[in-house]
Amino acid sequence: MINRYFIIVIFITAFIIPREYSIYFFPFAILYFYFLDKKLLGFLFKRSFLLIVLILLLLQPLFTGEKDILFAGIKLSSEGFYNGIFMMFRAAVVIPSISYLSRSIEIKKMQKLFSRIGIKNYDEVFIHSQQIFPILKEKTKEYFTLHRKKIINPIEFCAQFVAILIRTTQSHLINSKEDEAL
């Protein structure tokens, strides 16, 4: 619980901290996440994250800002480079903060929220959706085995599939009513 409040503070700070003070904040925040749960920093090695880091640290100083430094014969912008480092560190703190906070969301509270904000029949739809899953799985497997060749005509393929599912749901409805009547 204390961790949760602490992470909210870290998250807000990451948003508002000026660049000149960030050096005193971001490394400690990242260390905090490392000791809290190493998995929270797993995204640092993901290709999508590394691609953006590449853009921020290499392309940004190369293409934007005033070129004031020379590195390996290439003119670069120091402003662009420091800006890239700041953005990278910010993401390294904001992403695990959101990740941790989203983990601690209670599903039941979420369900209550949806019901409260007036989403029509949310609870019934939720329960029935879970009940339909096994039937859906069975019908999908059956359809894709028998009608695989129909995929040449995608509209017909999808329409037949949806029609089977709707028919199954309706017959399930009739059967459950008959059971109730008995």
Partner 1 sequence: MIKNDIKYSDIKTTALFSALWTAIELSIGTVLHASKIPFRGTILTIIAIILITVSRSFVNYKGSIIAISSVTATLKLITLPGFNITPFFAIFVEGLIGEIIFSLFSYSRLTSLINGSLTLLYTLIHSLIMQGVFFGFGIYKVYLGIINKIGKEMNYNGEISYLIVSLIILAYLLLGAFAGWFGWKTAKRTKEILQENPL
Contacts with partner 1 by CB under 8 A lie at 43, 47, 52, 55-56, 59-60, 63-64, 83-84, 86-88, 90-91, 94-95, 98-99, 102-103, 105, 107, 110-111, 114, 119-122, 124-133, 136-137, 140, 154-156, 158-160, 162-163, 165-167, 169-174
- Shortest Cβ distance from residue 107 to partner 1 (Å)? 5
Do residues 29 and 100 make contact, with C-beta atoms less than 8 angstroms apart?
A: no
Query: Is the CB of 8 or the CB of 163 nearer to partner 1?
Result: 163
- Shortest Cβ distance from residue 36 to partner 1 (Å)? 15
Helix (H, G, I), strand (E, B) or coil at 74: strand
Give 78's contacts (C-beta < 8 A, 6+ positions apart): 61, 65, 68, 69
- Shortest Cβ distance from residue 74 to partner 1 (Å)? 14
Helices (H), the chain: 2-16, 19-36, 47-54, 60-63, 78-103, 107-116, 122-146, 154-181
